[in-house]
Structure 1
């Protein structure tokens, strides 16, 4: 194709792109691809032409625009987890504390109920699971259940299942939080009965050191998920001075934001359970490092950091 014909054929499109460059990443990427294709053609057949330089300049502009958009998206995500989420958590620290206390209460109920009544463990965990675990204990591999299945498939299954549980807990807030509290209660009682079962067999400490590799984060997500649901329920039940519907919208929005805090923790908990917990022979030091690091993160991000950030914000407002 002659250069004049090539220019005549595409001139209108190039002028439109130059006059009205897209501000949306998807459209900008489409323009970039088209310009790169034109540039490749021009470089092949008209390497020394001014049109080649023109197309190179326009393609570079789109590339820089795409790069800046990516940086902006990354900054927004970083700002969300650094500022917005912690401040909303701080706003609802009282609800978080109540959910934590309820969780401990239900765990204690599960533990002591199982300790008083042997049949309670089977009612909560199921006969099949109890019989299987007793067989594993007799074989000398009490935590063999964590070694079943493919590691990658286990990781995805656990992650998706825990997300489902968290979303159900959040959604329960629209029904006055009753399903949310019920879900927290069921999960916590199962944890208490589970630990009682191993303490009865003289393996309580071993079970904690094994299960809390992933459980430190996973159990924390139970409390955070319940908090997200009760924040929505609280806004519905106690709207304050604003309209109930407006309060519900605000509570639902803040509940969703709190629920989003669970996703990174659920991802890591599923990773630990799918890839690490199954290796019960790992050194004690490594177990303590994983558990300690997970616990430190939860305490810092959900308690210490929000309080510190709120204090800094208050001081900056005074200044």
Structure 2
């Protein structure tokens, strides 16, 4: 059967099943299981005859969502918290991986604009960071401690204040996605320009390495988490602008639900970043290089693995189990 005919024959069934899964609208588990087996059979057929088609990806994602509904036993329900981090978020990140990749590209582009602007305009850094901050940083550099600003205040006070601020930025980046993603892009642009200017300032003053080994102890998780939060905001914006086969309202609900899951998943990393900034970064100037670099690489590796590698492993596992389900039945 030609792919077009196959899609035309089954399109309404797939869309109906997708809506039922999203709204949890099944009369009984047997009905869900029956339709799920039909879906997996369609997936197997598509993998055999149209292996390079986008249809395979669509059915694969739909099967993964349905799998979660079917195999939620009472024991799994009691471990809902664990299942959220272990399976649900990674599957969502896999499904929306293109948004995450695009957000990273935008992040680097905006940050580069900040660097270039600071390099070509002597007053640009002051206009972005403010005279007080620049003057204070110059004094710290002359005193031999470029990142002394992170030593001000108490440990716990810095931890709480920084964490609350980072949570606020992340939530704003997501919520402002409701304006078609424009609000999220504005938050990204503002923070990336500041980051690019900030790092160029230390480079220009000849203390780039000292700033990196201090700032990025907490910055690896902090900045990475903000990028993921901005990706959630773009997903929300795209759900409004491009509803696809759904009504705009249904698409918005799906985008909001997906975005909130991704947003919440970043909170533990934001807390860890706040803890590091409040309790560890202040000692960066007395740390050996291997320790500060080790912390940076470890934190960056953990969060990178969770959002960029682990989703592929979870998706692969779910796909293998889903493909075997009809035979077991």
Q: TM-score of the superposition, structure 2-length normalised?
A: 0.74
Match of 2:296 in 1: 291
Aligned pairs for 1:1-319 (under 5 A) are 75-280=79-284, 281-319=286-324
Q: Give the superposition deviation at 1:123.
A: 0.7
Structure 2 unaligned segments of length 5 or more: list them: 1-74, 325-329
Residue 79 of structure 2 aligns to a residue whose secondary structure is: helix
Higher Rg: 1
What are the Cα deviations for residues 190-240 of structure 1, in whole angstroms up to 9, with x where unaligned? 110001000011111221111110000001011111011111111111011
Q: Give the superposition deviation at 1:288.
A: 1.5
Q: Give the superposition deviation at 1:178.
A: 0.8
> More displaced, 308-317 or 78-87?
308-317
Alpha-carbon distance in structure 1 between the residues aligned to 2:318 and 2:78: 23
Structure 1 unaligned segments of length 5 or more: list them: 1-70
Instruction: Go from structure 1 to structure 2 and tell me whether the alpha carbon gap of 1:89 and 1:168 turns closer, same or farther (over 3 Å shift).
Output: same
Which 4+ runs in 1 deviate beyond 4 A? 71-74
Q: Give the superposition deviation at 1:115.
A: 0.8
Point out which structure has higher relative CO (alpha carbons under 8 A, 6+ apart).
2
Alpha-carbon distance in structure 1 between the residues aligned to 2:291 and 2:116: 31
Q: Give the superposition deviation at 1:100.
A: 0.5
Alpha-carbon distance in structure 1 between the residues aligned to 2:184 and 2:102: 13
What are the Cα deviations for residues 160-194 of structure 1, in whole angstroms up to 9, with x where unaligned? 11111111011011111111001011111111000
**Number of aligned pairs?**
249
Report the aligned-residue RMSD: 1.2
Residue 153 of structure 2 aligns to a residue whose secondary structure is: coil
What are the Cα deviations for residues 86-140 of structure 1, in whole angstroms up to 9, with x where unaligned? 1001111000111111000111110111011110000110111001100111111
Q: TM-score of the superposition, structure 1-length normalised?
A: 0.76
Q: Give the superposition deviation at 1:261.
A: 1.4
